[in-house]
Amino acid sequence: MTMDSKLVILFFAVAMAIASSAMASDPSPLQDFCVADHASKVLVNGLVCKNPKYVTEKDFFFSGLDKANNSKSRVGSIVTPVNVAQIPGLNTLGISLVRIDFQPWGLNPPHTHPRATELLTVLEGTLGVGFVTSNPENRFISKVLKKGDVFTFPIGLIHFQINLGKDPVVAIAGLSSQNPGVITIADALFGSKPPIDVNVLTKAFSLDKDVVKYLQDEFSD
Report whether pLDDT(107) > 80.
Answer: yes
Known binding-site residues for Mn(2+) equal 111, 113, 118, 159
Does domain 52-181 match CATH 3.40.50.1400? no
What would the mean pLDDT of 71-80 be, rounded to a whole number?
87
CA end-to-end span of the chain: 64
Q: Which is nearest to 92 in space by CA: 154, 40, 45?
A: 45
Q: Give 37's pLDDT tier (boundaries 50, 70, 90).
A: very high
What would the mean pLDDT of 206-215 be, rounded to a whole number?
96
Known binding-site residues for oxalate equal 108, 113, 118
Three-state secondary structure call for residue 46: coil
Known binding-site residues equal 108, 111, 113, 118, 159
CA–CA gap between residue 221 and residue 62 (Å, rounded): 31
What pLDDT score does 14 carry? 41
| CATH 2.60.120.10 domain residues, the chain | 52-181
113 CB neighbour count, 10 Å cutoff? 23
Q: Which residue has the higher pLDDT, 108 or 67?
A: 108
CA–CA gap between residue 160 and residue 143 (Å, rounded): 11
What would the mean pLDDT of 114-139 be, rounded to a whole number?
97
pTM: 0.85
